[in-house]
Structure 1
Amino acid sequence: MNFRLRLALLFVTTLVAVQVFTALLAYGVARRALIADGERQLAVGAAAVAHQLDDISSRVADNVQVLSLDFALRAAIAQNDQSTVLSALRNHGRRIGAERMLLVGLDGTVRSDTAEPAGGAFPFADLADAALDHPAAAVVALDGKAYWMIVVPVYAPKPIALIAAGIPVDDALLAHLQQLSALPNTLELVTRGADDRWTGIAHGDDRVGIAPALAGRELPLQPTLVRLDASEYVVLATRLRESERSTPVAAVLGYSLDDALRPYRSVAIAWASLVALGLAIGLIGALLIARGVARPIEKLAAAAHRIGTGDYAPAAPMIKSDEVGQLAAALSNMTLAIAEREERIRYQAEHDAVTALPNRHAAEAVIRHALSTRPAAGALLMVGLARLPEIIQTMGHTISDRLMRDAGARLRPFAARGVVARATDTQFALWLDGADKADAIAIAFRILDVLGVPYQESDLSIDAAPAIGIALHPVHGEEASTLLRRAEIALFAALGAEDPVAVYDASTDPHRPERLTLMTELREALDRNQLRLHYQPKLRLADDRIDGAEALLRWQHPLRGAVPPDTFIPLAERTGNIRRVTRWVLASGIAQAHVWAARGHALRIAINLSARDLDDADLPTRVADLLSLHAVAPRNIVLELTESAVMGEPDTAVQVLKRLADLGIDLAIDDFGVGQSSLAYLRRLPVREIKIDRFFTQKLGEDVGDRTLVRSIVELGHRLGYRVTAEGIETRAAFEYLRDVGCDHVQGYYIAAALEPDALEAMLTRDGGATNRGVRA
Structure 2
Amino acid sequence: MNFRLRLALLFVTTLVAVQAFTALLAYGVARRALIADGERQLAVGATAVARQLDDISARVADNVQVLSLDFALRAAIAQNDQSTVLSALRNHGRRIGAERMLLVGLDGMVRSDTAAPAGETFPFPDLAEAALDHPAAAVVAIGGKAYWMIVVPVYAPKPIALIAAGIPVDDALLAHLQKSSALPNSLELVTLGGDGRWADIARGDNRVEIAPALAGRELPLHPTLMQLDAREYVVLATRLRESERSAPVAAMLGYSLDDALRQYRPVAVAWASLVALGLAIGLAGALLIARGVARPIEKLAAAAHRIGAGDYAPAAASGKRDEVGQLAAALSNMTLAIAEREERIRYQAEHDAVTALPNRHAAEAAIRQALLARPEAGALLMVGLARLPEVIQTMGHTISDRFMHDAGMRLRPFAQRGIVARATDTQFAVWLDGADKAEAIAIAFRILDVLGVPYQEADLSIDTAPAIGIALHPVHGDEAGALLRRAEVALFAALGAEDPVAVYDAGTDPHRPERLTLMSELREALDRNQLRLHYQPKLRLADERIDGAEALLRWQHPLRGAIPPDAFIPLAERTGNIRRVTRWVLASAIAQAHEWAARGHELRIAINLSARDLDDADLPTRVADLLSLHAVAPRTIVLELTESAVMGEPDTAVQVLKRLADLGIDLAIDDFGIGQSSLAYLRRLPVREIKIDRFFTQKLGEDVGDRTLVRSIVELGHRLGYRVTAEGIETRAAFEYLREVGCDHVQGYYIATALEPDALEAMLGRDESAAARGVRA
CA distance 1:537–1:378, change in 2 (3 Å): closer
Q: Is the 8 A contact 1:548 1:605 kept in 2?
A: yes
Q: Equivalent residue of 1:384, what SS? A: strand
CA distance 1:713–1:338, change in 2 (3 Å): farther
CA distance 1:726–1:325, change in 2 (3 Å): same
Deviation at residue 664 of structure 1 after TM alignment: 2.2
Moved more, 654-663 or 498-507: 498-507
Q: Distance in 1 between matches of 2:292 and 2:410?
A: 64
CA distance 1:736–1:322, change in 2 (3 Å): same
CA distance 1:737–1:306, change in 2 (3 Å): same
Q: Is the 8 A contact 2:274 2:324 kept in 1?
A: no
Q: Equivalent residue of 1:730, what SS? A: coil
Q: Which runs of 5+ in 1 are unaligned?
A: none
CA distance 1:469–1:543, change in 2 (3 Å): closer
Moved more, 413-422 or 19-28: 19-28
Map of 2:614 onto structure 1: 614
Q: Equivalent residue of 1:543, what SS? A: coil
Q: Distance in 2 between matches of 1:103 and 1:395?
A: 30
Q: Deviations over 1:67-90 (max 9, x none)?
A: 999999999999999999999999
Map of 2:372 onto structure 1: 372
Return the TM-score normalized by structure 1. 0.51
CA distance 1:648–1:229, change in 2 (3 Å): closer
Moved more, 411-420 or 523-532: 411-420
Q: Is the 8 A contact 2:181 2:353 kept in 1?
A: no
Moved more, 247-256 or 633-642: 247-256
Deviation at residue 631 of structure 1 after TM alignment: 1.7
Moved more, 707-716 or 57-66: 57-66
Q: Is the 8 A contact 2:220 2:239 kept in 1?
A: no
Identity, % of aligned positions: 90
Compute the RMSD of aligned alpha carbons.
34.6
Moved more, 172-181 or 383-392: 172-181
Q: Distance in 2 between matches of 1:496 and 1:205?
A: 41
Q: Distance in 1 between matches of 2:19 and 2:41?
A: 33
Q: Is the 8 A contact 1:128 1:151 kept in 2?
A: yes
CA distance 1:503–1:5, change in 2 (3 Å): farther
Q: Deviations over 1:430-461 (max 9, x none)?
A: 34678777886676565445434443344444
Q: Deviations over 1:593-622 (max 9, x none)?
A: 111222232222110112222233332222
Q: Equivalent residue of 1:330, what SS? A: helix
Q: Equivalent residue of 2:285, what SS? A: helix
Q: Deviations over 1:108-150 (max 9, x none)?
A: 9999999999999999999999999999999999999999999
CA distance 1:68–1:333, change in 2 (3 Å): closer
Q: Equivalent residue of 1:773, what SS? A: helix
Moved more, 721-730 or 323-332: 323-332
Moved more, 339-348 or 647-656: 339-348
Q: Equivalent residue of 1:312, what SS? A: coil
Moved more, 707-716 or 511-520: 511-520
Moved more, 690-699 or 164-173: 164-173
Q: Equivalent residue of 1:104, what SS? A: strand
Map of 1:27 onto structure 2: 27
Deviation at residue 765 of structure 1 after TM alignment: 3.1
Deviation at residue 423 of structure 1 after TM alignment: 2.6
Q: Equivalent residue of 1:223, what SS? A: strand
Deviation at residue 47 of structure 1 after TM alignment: 81
Deviation at residue 775 of structure 1 after TM alignment: 3.2
Map of 2:760 onto structure 1: 760
Moved more, 646-655 or 481-490: 646-655
Q: Is the 8 A contact 1:750 1:774 kept in 2?
A: no
Q: Distance in 2 between matches of 1:677 and 1:158?
A: 30
CA distance 1:55–1:394, change in 2 (3 Å): closer
CA distance 1:397–1:752, change in 2 (3 Å): same
CA distance 1:51–1:378, change in 2 (3 Å): closer
Moved more, 666-675 or 545-554: 545-554
Q: Distance in 1 between matches of 2:460 and 2:172?
A: 121
CA distance 1:130–1:18, change in 2 (3 Å): same
Q: Distance in 1 between matches of 2:166 and 2:407?
A: 118
Q: Is the 8 A contact 2:148 2:166 kept in 1?
A: yes
CA distance 1:643–1:299, change in 2 (3 Å): farther
Q: Is the 8 A contact 1:541 1:744 kept in 2?
A: yes
CA distance 1:173–1:291, change in 2 (3 Å): closer
Q: Distance in 1 between matches of 2:162 and 2:496?
A: 121
Task: Return the index of the structure with the highest Cα Rg.
Answer: 1
Q: Is the 8 A contact 2:526 2:584 kept in 1?
A: yes
Q: Deviations over 1:41-67 (max 9, x none)?
A: 999999999999999999999999999
Q: Distance in 2 between matches of 1:74 and 1:391?
A: 30
Return the TM-score normalized by structure 2. 0.51
Q: Distance in 1 between matches of 2:645 and 2:78?
A: 117
Q: Distance in 2 between matches of 1:91 and 1:677?
A: 29
Q: Which runs of 5+ in 2 are unaligned?
A: none
Deviation at residue 643 of structure 1 after TM alignment: 0.9
Deviation at residue 17 of structure 1 after TM alignment: 53
Q: Distance in 2 between matches of 1:483 and 1:272?
A: 61
Q: Distance in 1 between matches of 2:411 and 2:479?
A: 24
Map of 2:521 onto structure 1: 521
Moved more, 626-635 or 569-578: 569-578
CA distance 1:123–1:477, change in 2 (3 Å): closer
CA distance 1:449–1:9, change in 2 (3 Å): farther
Q: Is the 8 A contact 1:643 1:672 kept in 2?
A: yes
Q: Is the 8 A contact 1:137 1:151 kept in 2?
A: yes
CA distance 1:26–1:626, change in 2 (3 Å): farther
Q: Distance in 1 between matches of 2:670 and 2:386?
A: 33
Q: Is the 8 A contact 1:468 1:500 kept in 2?
A: yes
Q: Is the 8 A contact 2:234 2:255 kept in 1?
A: yes
Query: How many residues are matched?
Result: 777
Q: Distance in 2 between matches of 1:613 and 1:71?
A: 15
Deviation at residue 290 of structure 1 after TM alignment: 45
CA distance 1:673–1:136, change in 2 (3 Å): closer
Deviation at residue 724 of structure 1 after TM alignment: 1.6
Moved more, 275-284 or 476-485: 275-284
Q: Is the 8 A contact 2:691 2:725 kept in 1?
A: yes
